[in-house]
Amino acid sequence: MATVTFGRVEQISSGEIETLDPRRSIDIEEKQQVVSEFLKSNDYDALLLQRPNNFAWFTTGGDNSRLGSQSTIASLFITPESRVLLADNVDSGQTFDREVSGLGFLSKERPWHESKEMLIEDLCCSRKVASDTGFRQTDNVSPQLSKLRSPLTVYERERIRDLGRLVSHAVEATARTFVHGQTEAEIAGQLSHRLIKAGVLPERLQVWADGQGHRYRHWSYGNESVERYCTLTAVGRREGLCAGCSRTVSFGDPPEVARTAHRRALLMQATGMCFSIANWQLYETWSRVQRIYEKFGYPEEWQLADQGSVIGYEVCEELITPESQYRLQPGTPVYWHPSVGPALVSDTILVGDQGSKLLTRMEDWPKVKIDIKGAPIYRPDILKR
């Protein structure tokens, strides 16, 4: 009978481990400088990050959540000179090795049976600390951190391009293969399976059977079966970043009301995409979209649901509204999802210096051409099965 002895594994700085991705390491070093400048300019000694979106941002893809939930297992304590992972002795080793190994982090842990706040309180003691939660006497600087997360870095832009491709592939593959008469929940399960298999966390799923969304614009999915047509929407998260898209499929010819609404929604979406211009404020972009709603006889339709948002490490970093003064910059991802009656269309773009690029590209999918000020924009039509 063999005897196995378990000894305590000493934590070491991940800077002593060879990193597998030098570009990620460089990206984190640049964020360290951004945070250091923020701390110095605001007279803070340190920054405490506990929310998953900020943990993912600073670590360029790390995850401190438990199985993708909002329950967290680790925090970051960042000073101008160092960055430290804080966790209990159960989670510290796994989190350190899987999320920040080789990226210049130190690790501090506490026994699992002690208060999880004790270690953080010790580090914050006698320091002026900013945080993203307002923990104890720290200053909550969440609005300022939102500005630091945008625009995306060059490396993050590469990652969100990969994510957009994975999300659109999962949505289109599910739309092409689900069986007539299946329920919304069954289809959502298939879509979720494809996303998870590709390493993408389903952040938001919507399956609209036969115009379900006409009644409830934020409808997710239920037990209704698909008889004539269906719209599938997914927002997926990978390495902290989010991207989303929708596709609509019809068994036979779609009802005329659905086809008309779909084309109108595409027109609104294409307008928003075309005028998502670097250095424009969001209200300038939105005013163009609102005019199209009015021009085509839907002056009140946009008030029934939100139309789009700046996306990134949050599904909604900034909501697109008639008054928003948020200024688009090159490297800003925008998720346009206008709805008209029973139709919902959505895709994610990346604002650039020379126009926006579609992140959730169509693969084997029918397209419709829409002219915006003489420029053709190709959008996803309804797939007939």
Q: Which among 160, 60, 53 has a CA at the least distance from the CA of 105?
A: 60
User: DSSP label at 70?
Assistant: S
Give, in order, the Cα–Cα distances in Å from 266 to each of 198, 259, 356.
28, 11, 16
CB 174 within 8 A of CB 191: yes
Q: What is the mean pLDDT of residues 124-128?
A: 93
- Per-position DSSP letters for 326-367, written without gaps between them: PBP-TT-EEEE--EETTEE--EEEE--TTS-EESS--SS--E
- Per-position DSSP letters for 266-298, written without gaps between them: HHHHHHHHHT--TT-BHHHHHHHHHHHHHHTT-
Residues in the chain: 385
CA end-to-end span of the chain, whole Å? 62
In CATH, the number for domain 14-148 is: 3.40.350.10
pLDDT of residue 68: 59
Give, in order, the Cα–Cα distances in Å from 367 to each of 143, 148, 289, 361.
39, 37, 21, 11
pLDDT(189) > 50: yes
CB 337 within 8 A of CB 346: yes
Q: What is the mean pLDDT of residues 62-68?
A: 84
Q: Where are the domains of the chain?
A: 14-148, 154-384
Q: What is the mean pLDDT of residues 74-97?
A: 95
pLDDT(84) > 50: yes
State which CATH number among 3.30.200.20, 3.40.430.10, 3.90.230.10, 3.40.640.10 fits the domain covering 154-384: 3.90.230.10
pLDDT of residue 69: 64
The distance from CA 327 to its chain's CA centroid, rounded to whole angstroms, is 19
Q: Which among 305, 303, 287 has a CA at the least distance from the CA of 295?
A: 287
Domains 14-148 and 154-384 equal at CATH topology level: no
pLDDT digits (tens, 9 = 90+) for 277-333: 999 999 999 999 999 999 999 999 999 999 999 999 999 999 999 999 999 999 999
pLDDT digits (tens, 9 = 90+) for 206-219: 999 998 888 899 99
Q: What is the mean pLDDT of residues 155-176?
A: 98
What is the phi/psi pair of residue 8, to 5°? Answer: -75, 130
pLDDT of residue 14: 52
Output the six-digit token pair for 269: 């979406």
CA distance 318 to 197: 29
Q: What is the mean pLDDT of residues 91-103?
A: 94
Place of tokens 């346009």: 336
- Percent of the chain past pLDDT 90, that is, above it, reads 88
- Percent of the chain past pLDDT 70, that is, above it, reads 94
